[in-house]
Chains A and B, each alone.
Chain A
């Protein structure tokens, strides 16, 4: 009986190991230029991106590896202003540690079973000064670059292009009873040291969490409460969004926990943390980014009821004096993200929508910089119907069409399979 039991347990262990090894998919730690068990002759692109953009980078990266025109994505999560600095100074991909936070390079493996919701394997890049290092061809920030220090200046052969909109929010522990926060509360909570702001229950400085001062999350959220990043009084820099989530989850006093996070990362962790509705200055009510706290429609981001958001800037080399991205792979990825690429077997726009980002063509409001007032926006080729239909749990009342983009449809035009007004 005992031997039968141990055989059963052994078999269970064996099955578990198979499952685990399938999840790992590829070994960590190879040189990026020489990956074991991978075809190293596949064209590659090196990207630096905000960690809020990692989900969409991985999703599109997987499709690119499965495409008939394969492209391997190597990427590194980095604060937005560091990305700006790297791209504006023609930096190459070398080993980087920001303060105490290492910034590993990851890659998309060729396996069709690679799960983009899990971690991508890491690989190593040369040390600073090594001439074999590869240029960073694309930067993907997650807030207005005007919020960063203005140095180095933008070279005339580097272009900055607005990508999809990224929303942010205040988060708290799942066991907190709080459901909303006003901008004034945010200012008083984060603007003063321990107990000073009197914005109950968020009065414990070590239970208020933020990212580094060059990270888009900090830049956009601080401007939403009229503070500078350096004025936010919080526990030590969480280093990464994932680190911040862990800190909020482990807060010893759940009610007092307060953090800041990109909403598409929140969308993946709704079971673990809570996003607070936000009421901006002069607003009558607080709102979630979505129409309810159970949906993923980003309705309040799109129509201007939810304020903490910014576009994601795509940064790449251009032909001087033009807006033409010179690196063909960077150009391909940007066009896929914007939904403007024709004849590609990768649906980049769908990945954007399903990652919790809002394409500009689905926005009804715009602004000029972090914290700036909103004004109405009327996209020349709207995609609101496509967006509503394709978000998680999405639906639309728009009429479907099959005549192709720009084709006539119900007095308007067919856009991404749905009749829009123009």
Chain B
């Protein structure tokens, strides 16, 4: 009886450890949404719109404001800037190393 009792305690230790391990393991696939103040020049959809795209003409909204995405994309530029229900993140860092026109500098 004592042996059974001891084994029960042992098994309980193992099961409890496993439960604690699972509870403490932050392996949930539920990744939190990034915070709007996650870093300089970074913001979730709804933040200021980048003006660096140059020549961005997706038409206007009913109130006359410029649209920031394309409804019926056909070209590469329109596809990557198509309207979507996905999370959009504004990121417009100041990169002093870029050329004056925004182009990439040659490598050293």
Q: Which residues of A contact B (CB under 8 A)?
A: 4, 7-16, 19, 177-182, 184-185, 187-188, 191-193, 196-199, 226, 231, 267, 270-272, 277, 279-280, 282-288, 290-294, 296, 299-300, 303-305, 307, 365, 373-376, 392-393
Contact = CB atoms under 8 A, between A and B. Distances in A.
A182 B38 contact: no
Contacts of A284: 49-50, 53, 56, 68-69, 81, 88
A319 to B, nearest CB: 37
A142 B80 CA distance: 23
B19 interface: no
Q: Give me the 9 closest cross-chain CB pairs, A-B, nearest first.
A: A11-B10, A179-B34, A373-B76, A285-B88, A271-B27, A12-B10, A304-B79, A7-B6, A291-B86
Contacts of A178: 38-39, 42
27 contacts: A4-B6, A4-B9, A7-B6, A8-B9, A11-B10, A12-B11, A15-B11, A178-B38, A179-B38, A180-B89, A184-B93, A184-B95, A184-B104, A185-B93, A192-B107, A199-B97, A231-B107, A279-B91, A285-B50, A286-B90, A287-B84, A293-B31, A293-B33, A305-B80, A305-B84, A375-B76, A392-B29
Interface residues of B, number: 58
Interface in B69-97: 69, 73-74, 76-77, 79-82, 84-91, 93, 95-97
B4 to A, nearest CB: 10
Given A179-B34, A277-B89, A291-B86, A193 B80 contact: no
B63 interface: no
* Most chain B beta-carbon contacts within 10 A, residue among A181, A288, A296: A288
Contact of A304 (B13, B34, B80, B97): B80
Given A198-B95, A198-B97, A296-B29, A282 B77 contact: yes
A362 B71 CA distance: 20
Interface in B10-28: 10-11, 13-14, 25-28
A294 B31 contact: yes
A291 B93 CA distance: 23
Interface in B46-63: 49-50, 53-54, 56
A305 B107 contact: no
A374 B2 CA distance: 71
Contacts of B91: 180-182, 277, 279, 285-286
Contacts of B68: 284
A8 B90 CA distance: 57
Contacts of B33: 292-294
Contacts of A285: 45, 50, 88-91
B45 to A, nearest CB: 7
Nearest to A367: B76
A177 B39 contact: yes
B101 interface: no
Nearest to B27: A271
B85 A291 contact: yes
Contacts of B6: 4, 7-8, 11
Contacts of A177: 38-39
Contacts of B3: 7
B82 A196 contact: no
A151 B76 CA distance: 31
* Most chain B beta-carbon contacts within 10 A, residue among A7, A180, A290, A305: A180
Given A179-B39, A198-B96, 12 more contacts: A11-B9, A12-B14, A226-B104, A285-B50, A285-B91, A286-B88, A287-B89, A292-B33, A299-B86, A304-B73, A305-B82, A373-B76
